[in-house]
Copies of this chain bind each other. A is one copy, B any other.
Amino acid sequence: MKLNIALLAGDGIGPEVIDQAVKVCDAIAKKYDHEISWKPALTGAAAIDAVGEPYPDETHDICASADAVLFGAIGHPRFDNDPSAKVRPEQGLLKMRQKLGLFANVRPTFTFPSLIDKSPLKRDRIEGTDLIILRELTGGIYFGERGRKDDGNTAFDTMTYQRFEIERLARKGFDMAMKRSKKLCCVDKANVLESSRLWRETVQGLEKEYPEVEVSYEFIDAVAMRLIQWPKGYDVIITANLFGDILTDEASVIAGSMGLMPSSSVGSKVSLYEPIHGSYPQAAGKDIANPLATVLSAAMLFEDLELVTEAEEIRRVVNKSLAEGYVTEDLADGGKSFKTSEVGDWLASNI
């Protein structure tokens, strides 16, 4: 198969972890006889520095015409705590999501047998956790009208949802649930928000099309609690952009390490794959960042292109590196650890 993959390394540790994913993908391509043509493009602070824009048109064109996008991380401390900064790296991320129509962020949460004791949660609470949070990614309060009034003394943001946006995401959730344990939980704040009531209405309307799926409706505050108390109670969770932002980060504590959690952002034409960790600027350039989340994101990429064996092979080699302790320092528990690039080389050579 011929694959065109846009490669957005981004900021901080982005370039380093992306490099390892490229090595792994190239090894996969070699083994299974695919041809990957990588199309590097600028994003984030790197793009602001180069062309004054965190998601330049040229980058968009490269992504829009690719089969998939592999993404590192975005964000630079120089822009944080500076309310006056007019252009910010995160804007690039939001613009990219919107322009590419990446409406569904998929974040699987699971545990790794060899890492289960790294979690702040007790083993019996989390062992066997296998859930997916499906976050709406191109609507809600992220993209509604916002601004100031009264000489800047009043600020507002609007959480807006249209029925089709909810339905599109919910259908994806139902479809996923059908392939899994057939349990779907819609998370909202319908006891307060009108947009949540539209969510509930819309999802209720779809229930009859998926009679086998057991649907529940829970409030975001309760789920923020239950997700920690008993994550095994969930299978597929669907939720709005802001609630998903919060829940997906929260869920990452279950696995014990952000350095391992992959994600995809699915659009109707092209999809994007990225680790859930950020640009981690303190570690940038030190060759110490954990590349596994990015490598596992590449596995999701292959899986979505129906290259399931390839995806399984990547997961196998990642598990092998964990089992054999061929890991970066964040996972080494003070024991022997390896550089980012060494882990990448090891993974590629074990494929």
A residues neighboring B (CB under 8 Å): 80-81, 83, 88, 90, 94, 120-122, 125, 141-142, 144, 146-148, 150, 152-164, 189-195, 197-198, 200-201, 217, 220-222, 224-225, 228-230, 242, 245-250, 252-253, 258
A197 touches B125 (CB 8 A): no
Enumerate chain B residues within 8 angstroms of A189, measured Cβ to Cβ.
242, 245
B194 touches A156 (CB 8 A): yes
Kindly state the separation between the CA atoms of A280 and B230 in the bound complex, as whole angstroms: 18
Enumerate chain B residues within 8 angstroms of A88, measured Cβ to Cβ.
191
Q: Select which of B154, B156, B201, B248 is within 8 A of A83 by beta carbon.
A: B201
Kindly state the separation between the CA atoms of A80 and B254 in the bound complex, as whole angstroms: 30
Enumerate chain B residues within 8 angstroms of A242, measured Cβ to Cβ.
189
A41 smallest CB distance to B (angstroms): 22
A195 touches B228 (CB 8 A): no
Enumerate chain B residues within 8 angstroms of A155, measured Cβ to Cβ.
160-161, 194-195, 197-198
In the complex with contacts A224-B224, A224-B246, A249-B225, A195-B156 CB distance below 8 A = yes
A192 touches B249 (CB 8 A): no
Enumerate chain B residues within 8 angstroms of A142, measured Cβ to Cβ.
192
Q: List 30 A-B contacts (CB under 8 A).
A: A83-B190, A83-B200, A121-B122, A153-B162, A153-B163, A153-B164, A154-B161, A154-B198, A155-B160, A155-B197, A156-B158, A156-B159, A156-B194, A157-B159, A157-B193, A189-B242, A189-B245, A220-B245, A220-B246, A221-B249, A224-B224, A224-B247, A224-B249, A224-B250, A225-B252, A225-B253, A225-B258, A228-B250, A246-B246, A250-B250
A157 touches B158 (CB 8 A): yes
Kindly state the separation between the CA atoms of A122 and B228 in the bound complex, as whole angstroms: 12
Q: Select which of B154, B229, B249 is within 8 A of A253 by beta carbon.
A: B229
